[in-house]
Amino acid sequence: MPVLDIKSTGESLPTPAADRTALVTGASSGIGAALSRELSRRGHQVVLVARRAEKLEELATELRAAGGRAHVLGADLSDRSARATLLDRVGELGLTLDILVNNAGLSTLGPVAASDPDAEMNMIEVDVMAVADLCSRALPGMVQRRRGAVLDVASTAAFQPLPGQAAYAAGKAFVLSYTESLTGELKGTGVTATALCPGPVDTGFGETAGFAKEDAEAALPSFMWESPESVARTGIDGLDKGHMIAIPGLANRAASVFAHLAPNKLLVPVLASRHPGLRT
168 is catalytic: yes
How many DSSP H helices and E strands does the chain contain? 12, 7
Q: Which of 124, 165, 168, 216 is catalytic?
A: 168
Q: Are 186 and 148 in contact (CB under 8 A)?
A: no
Half-sphere exposure of 174 (CA within 13 A, CB side): 15
- In angstroms, the CA 57 to CA 60 distance is 5
- In angstroms, the CA 246 to CA 19 distance is 28
Q: Are 12 and 213 in contact (CB under 8 A)?
A: no
Angle (CA) 81 133 227, round 5°: 110
- Report the catalytic residues: 168
